[in-house]
Every structure is written in structure tokens, then in C-alpha cells.
Structure 1
Amino acid sequence: MSKQNIVWHETTIKKEERQERNGHSSVILWFTGLSGAGKSTLANALEQQLFNSGKHSYVLDGDNVRHGLNKGLGFSDEDRKENIRRIGEVAKLFVDAGTIVCTAFISPFKEDRNRVRELVEDGEFIEVYVRCSLEACEQRDPKGLYKKARAGEIPEFTGISSPYEEPDAPELIIDSDKQTVEESVETIIAYLKERKIL
């Protein structure tokens, strides 16, 4: 089908109307960091608190998305880029739906994260760098992936045989090897309130 035959159809209900009904703004909280840094743990703990306080939120987790939407993608640079492109578009839909969406993806390349930022309006993309030393991530190794990567069983593993590009100017930095999950969630909630998102 030719792209010229695809026409954008404007929705009847606008994002602003959904946000007003929900009682809060909608944003992407983009958790990025090494495997084992605590992105999913933090995203889920944050969502639990948002949910408990009546906010509309959802977690998009890297591993979970690869079971469905992105199950045909591998871990080459090209597939990683496509993985992030797709999830960026999905996250944009959640923002339009008036939802606070927490995305937990290694997303190792700055260019890909910046491309997602450009999909939404200013202030709707909040990069949360879950910073943790490689040593601490390897000690945690919750899925046993570092051990396999060191043994050469997993090629192109971020932090070992594939690069991770740290954010230049993230909105938030969470030092997950120094802060508890509870402290980290409090930091993010305080930021959202300060920005009048909540």
C-alpha cells in the first residue's frame, strides 16, 4: 500500500481532555541504564505508588515487550534501534491517552533515546538514568546474563561486548547502587510534583 493512501485521522477526544479527566499530565518516564541496574524494579515500584494514589500509569518493560510486539528482533545494533523506535511510538500513544508511561529499556544509544524525545512535546519525555556501576550490576546479575556474556555465550551484550552511551543531560539520575528503591521512588515523585505533572 502506498503511503500516499494513508491519511492521519484526528481523534475526537484530545490529549488535554484526557489529562484533565485523569487529574494529571501524561509523560514518558524513560528508565535507561545497564542490565541489572534496577530499571524494571524502580519502574514497577513507582507505578505501584502512582496506582495507589489513583493516577493512570503503565509500565512497558524491555523483556516483556520482546515477548510480543518485538519478539522477532535480536540484539544487533539495527535491531536494538528498531526495538526502541517501536517502543517510542507505543509510549507516544500512551501519552496521547493521558497516561504516565514508565519504560524500562537498556536503550544503549543516545541517538535512539533522543529520537523518542522528539516524538512528544517539550516536557513530555523525562529521561531517568538509573546509574549503577558495571561491577555492581555484575554482582547482582539477577538473570545470570553477565555470567553468560563473560563466557562468550551472549554476543553483543551491553556493557561487556556492546557499548552503553550514558545520557548527557538526563532529567533525573538515580544512583541505584547507593539509593534504596523507596528513596528513588520518592525522588521521582518529588520531581513530578515540582514539575506539576502530578
Structure 2
Amino acid sequence: MEKNIVAHSYKIGAEERRELNGHNSLLVFFTGLSGSGKSTLANAFEERLHKEKIRTYVLDGDNVRKGINSNLSFKPEDRSENLRRIGEISKLFIDAGIIVLAAFIAPYQKDRESIKNTVDAANYVEVFVNTPLDVCEERDVKGLYAKARKGQIKNMTGVSAPYESPIEPDVEVSNENSLEESVDIIYNKIKNQIRLKK
């Protein structure tokens, strides 16, 4: 089947779309435990970029699992497939000239590395939302940790499944930073990657 697939060559590509938008396109990938604040931070960061007329789109773990990845479980192999699809979707958005903000637990280093390779390292920014497990459990906004501790949820990252912290994230923020501080930290770190070089 694969030998019969031939990619069509189009005249308009990522560079032309970036030029039209007036900014670069890339993937800002937020990783951390459930309850670490990934989605809240991605949302706040998108608001910051939106005010600056930068085109963005947020891919969030729960939202994606309700749609395109609704057939996947939380077993390790399905978690990897979930993230593989996210990498491919992000690659399409990058080609469309858009900055993608992806908020996923992404517990395994190999999966994050795979996404980085899919979108190209030059288009990948890894943000580690380094909130300790005990703080995440105190928040437990979805009640998942309580259920996991009772054995009602299997393969819960941080409880019955591992989380491999990023070795060298591009940006690291923690619960000790306010939301505004975290947004500033990320923005100041990658602002030169956002703007097109004149």
C-alpha cells in the first residue's frame, strides 16, 4: 500500500504561510503530571500570543481523546500512539504556519523525543511544568488521584505508572512561579523563535 502513496508537491508551503502570518510556526509542548497546570498555562500563553496577533491552536490531552484519539486506552502502547498522532497533527499545523501549543502528560522520554523528530528539532520547544506529585494530588481537580489511590484507575501516571521527567527541557517552570511569571519565562525564552528573522 505504502509504495502507492506519492506526496503531491504544492507551490505554497510553510515558509510562504509563515511570511503571510508574519511569524514563525512551531510546537510548544507542555509536559508534566496530571494537575501540574499544563492546560492552564497553555491557555494563558495562547492569550499572550493572541494579543500580539500571532496565530495559534491548542491541542489538549482530554479534548483530543474525546475525538481523534477516542479509540485509545491508557496502556503504554496506546499512550505512545496517542502522542504519535499528536506529533503528526502538530506537523500539519506547523506546515499551516501556526504555533501549536500542546498540553499532554507525555510520561515517556522516547515519545517526546519521537514528537520532536516528527516536527523537526528546530520547530520543537519543550516546556516542563515541574509541579511535584504531592501538589498535584492536593489539587486533584479531576479527582483522578483519589480514584487511582483506591485502585479505581489503572495506569495512572505518578501513582501506578511512571513519569520520566524531561532531561533537558527548553523551558522549565514550577508551582513556585505564578501563572503570569510562567508565561513571561516561556515568552522571553522563545520570543526570538516566534518572530521571523528580517
Please tell me the TM-score bracket, short chain as reference: over 0.9
Secondary structure of 2:194's counterpart equals: coil
**Residue in 1 aligned with 2:19?**
20
CA distance in structure 1 between the partners assigned to 2:164 and 2:121 by the alignment: 22
Deviation of 1:11 (Å) = 2.3
Deviation of 1:71 (Å) = 0.3
Deviation of 1:50 (Å) = 0.8
Please show how residues 149-160 of structure 1 align to structure 2 within 5 Å.
Answer: 149-160=148-159
2:170 maps to 1:178: no
Secondary structure of 2:122's counterpart equals: coil
When the two structures are superposed, what TM-score results if normalisation uses the length of structure 1? 0.96
Structure 1 letter corresponding to 2:148: A
**Residue in 2 aligned with 1:81?**
80
CA distance in structure 2 between the partners assigned to 1:43 and 1:58 by the alignment: 10
Contact 2:88 2:119 in 1 (8 A): no
Deviation of 1:121 (Å) = 2.8
Please show how residues 47-126 of structure 1 align to structure 2 within 5 Å.
Answer: 47-126=46-125
**Residue in 2 aligned with 1:189?**
187
**Residue in 2 aligned with 1:5?**
4
Structure 2 letter corresponding to 1:86: R
When the two structures are superposed, what TM-score results if normalisation uses the length of structure 2? 0.96
Task: Rate the CA distance shift 1:196–1:107 in 2: closer, same or farther, 3 A.
Answer: closer
CA distance in structure 2 between the partners assigned to 1:100 and 1:169 by the alignment: 22
CA distance in structure 2 between the partners assigned to 1:11 and 1:93 by the alignment: 14
CA distance in structure 1 between the partners assigned to 2:34 and 2:61 by the alignment: 10
CA distance in structure 1 between the partners assigned to 2:122 and 2:138 by the alignment: 35
Structure 2 letter corresponding to 1:119: T
CA distance in structure 2 between the partners assigned to 1:4 and 1:171 by the alignment: 38
Structure 1 letter corresponding to 2:181: E
CA distance in structure 1 between the partners assigned to 2:40 and 2:193 by the alignment: 24
| Percent of paired sites with the same residue | 51
Secondary structure of 1:66's counterpart equals: helix
Secondary structure of 1:160's counterpart equals: coil
CA distance in structure 1 between the partners assigned to 2:29 and 2:66 by the alignment: 20
Contact 2:35 2:141 in 1 (8 A): yes
Secondary structure of 1:143's counterpart equals: coil
Normalized per residue, the structure richer in helix is: 2
CA distance in structure 2 between the partners assigned to 1:82 and 1:140 by the alignment: 28
CA distance in structure 2 between the partners assigned to 1:63 and 1:28 by the alignment: 18
Task: Rate the CA distance shift 1:7–1:127 in 2: closer, same or farther, 3 A.
Answer: same
Q: For structure 1, which runs of at least 5 residues remain unmatched after alignment?
A: none
Secondary structure of 1:40's counterpart equals: helix
| Superposition CA RMSD, Å | 0.9
